[in-house]
Structure 1
Amino acid sequence: MAVELYDEHEQGERVRNWIREYGAAIVMGLVLAFGGIFGFRYWQEHQSAQNALAADYFNRIQNEIEAGQTDRAQEHLESLQQQAGSSGYAGLAAMAMASAHVEEGRLEPAARLYREVLDNRRMEMLWPVTRLRLARVLESQGDARAALDALSDTPAPGYEASWNELRGDLLLAVGQVEQARLAYQDALSELGSQAGSQRLLQMKLDATGPGAGGESS
């Protein structure tokens, strides 16, 4: 009986010593764990609120563009960029706004918006189509070489035909006929079975044939 009481006393002392030694660390671990849980929930709720706000702004911007209220749409885009600029809706809204500027012949603000999208790492999924649109805007501004610079990277999968066709147009504009011909050939080989587009591309390719013009630097 005495041995059993001694064992219980000894075990109790061991537990109390263990608690004294490690109790503070355990409590701190629990605090951090629960803090992490609640912090993650707060972050989720914040992200959800940001996305809802951005979606609301995006819908407003689309409706205002359709109604021809581009100045008001631009104001809402700026508010969206300030309040939820990291949202994917901010990139989509910028693209829509840039297209509206192009339709109105306002090429400089359109180019600025496209460049803003390209400068934002969070919007990388929009870069291929953004580069194409920026290149077309720069071409319309009469700066074919800057447009070529916008297409200097390797085209993303799915954009090869459009990329090479536009490169062909730009190379032809700066007098690099043979390079333009190669770009059109690449575009044709990547185009697939789109008959109408094939005919147009073939016409462009034919225009770069023998006697179409010399190379210029």
Structure 2
Amino acid sequence: MEVYTNENDQVDAIKRFFANNGVALVVGLVIGVGGVFGWNYWQSHKTNVLQESAQKYEAVSTQLHSGTVQGIEAAQKFAAETDDVYSAMMGLELAQISVDKGDLANAQKALTYALAKAKTVDMQDLISFRLARVQLALGNLDQAMTSIENIKGKSWQAAAQDVRGDVLLQKGDKAGAKAAYTQGLESDGSQSLRGILTLKLNNVSNS
């Protein structure tokens, strides 16, 4: 089911980023904690925890994509019990599987949990965008609008305005939808997205 456009490139990029830099990011957050002994202990502990989480994520992700009930249950357990970026990424994977099955309610649930575990603005924006698309498909228009308003990154604004326009159009607000599509075109979006926004803007203007 094509509920939201393919952002798998962004997801893969985030995975690669945290695979390469995740430990350094976590370590960097506590610079200035103070005390050489305390710092070294904390650094070693957090590094080990994140590495263990990364390894478990890879194993559970492989199990999840085997398509078994056990794999889904293992992924849900990992997402619930892990409190780092890998929990958020597992939530994204669970949501994608639910969307592929047409189970939008479970997709919304998985994305809501993932958003609570997301540690970076870019990942929060990605999850909020996908959540908004799912909520729109479910007809939860007010929730979808809230999710769109939570998107902060400049690079996401064209896509966010695209969905915002769709929500407003469903609400019967053609003027608002037209303004959203126009704002999306004025943002930094891909050529394909600009084409979609242009088509939607023309349809609203001529209706």
Q: How does 1:163-202 map to 2 (within 5 A)?
A: 163-192=160-189, 194=191, 196-202=192-198
Of structures 1 and 2, the one with the larger relative CO (CA 8 A, separation 6+) is 2
Give secondary structure in 2 for the equivalent of 1:208: helix
> Residue 52 of structure 1: CA displacement?
1.8
Return the match for 1:99 from 86, 96, 99: 96
> Residue 71 of structure 1: CA displacement?
4.4
Return the match for 2:128 from 127, 131, 142: 131
Give secondary structure in 1 for the equivalent of 2:187: helix
Is the contact between residue 111 and residue 138 of structure 1 (CA under 8 Å) also seen in structure 2? yes
Is the contact between residue 50 and residue 87 of structure 1 (CA under 8 Å) also seen in structure 2? no
Q: Confirm or deny that 1:49 pairs with 2:48.
A: yes
Q: Larger radius of gyration, structure 1 or 2?
A: 1
Task: Find the aligned partners of 1:113 and 1:181 in 2 and give their Cα distance.
Answer: 31
Shift of the 154–142 alpha-carbon distance from structure 1 to 2, 3 Å rule, reads: closer
Q: How does 1:74-153 map to 2 (within 5 A)?
A: 74-79=73-78, 81-82=80-81, 85-120=82-117, 122-153=119-150
> Residue 157 of structure 1: CA displacement?
1.5
The one-character-per-residue Cα deviations of 1:27-57 (angstroms, maximum 9, x if unpaired) are: xxxxxxxxx5444333222212211221112
Is the contact between residue 99 and residue 110 of structure 1 (CA under 8 Å) also seen in structure 2? yes
Give secondary structure in 2 for the equivalent of 1:155: coil
The one-character-per-residue Cα deviations of 1:67-97 (angstroms, maximum 9, x if unpaired) are: 2236414424423642xx2322222122222
Task: Find the aligned partners of 1:193 and 1:113 in 2 and give their Cα distance.
Answer: 27
Task: Find the aligned partners of 1:163 and 1:144 in 2 and give their Cα distance.
Answer: 14
TM-score by length of 1: 0.70
> Residue 112 of structure 1: CA displacement?
1.7
The one-character-per-residue Cα deviations of 1:96-153 (angstroms, maximum 9, x if unpaired) are: 2222222122222221222223334745442111111111111111222221122124
Q: Gaps (5+ residues) in structure 2?
A: 1-34
What residue is the counterpart of 1:29 in the other structure?
none
The one-character-per-residue Cα deviations of 1:169-210 (angstroms, maximum 9, x if unpaired) are: 11111100000001011111224561x333322111011115
What residue is the counterpart of 1:203 in the other structure?
199
Give secondary structure in 1 for the equivalent of 2:154: coil
TM-score by length of 2: 0.73
Identity of aligned residues (%): 23
Is the contact between residue 75 and residue 94 of structure 2 (CA under 8 Å) also seen in structure 1? no
What residue is the counterpart of 2:10 in the other structure?
none
Shift of the 177–70 alpha-carbon distance from structure 1 to 2, 3 Å rule, reads: farther
Q: Gaps (5+ residues) in structure 1?
A: 1-35, 213-217
Shift of the 161–104 alpha-carbon distance from structure 1 to 2, 3 Å rule, reads: same
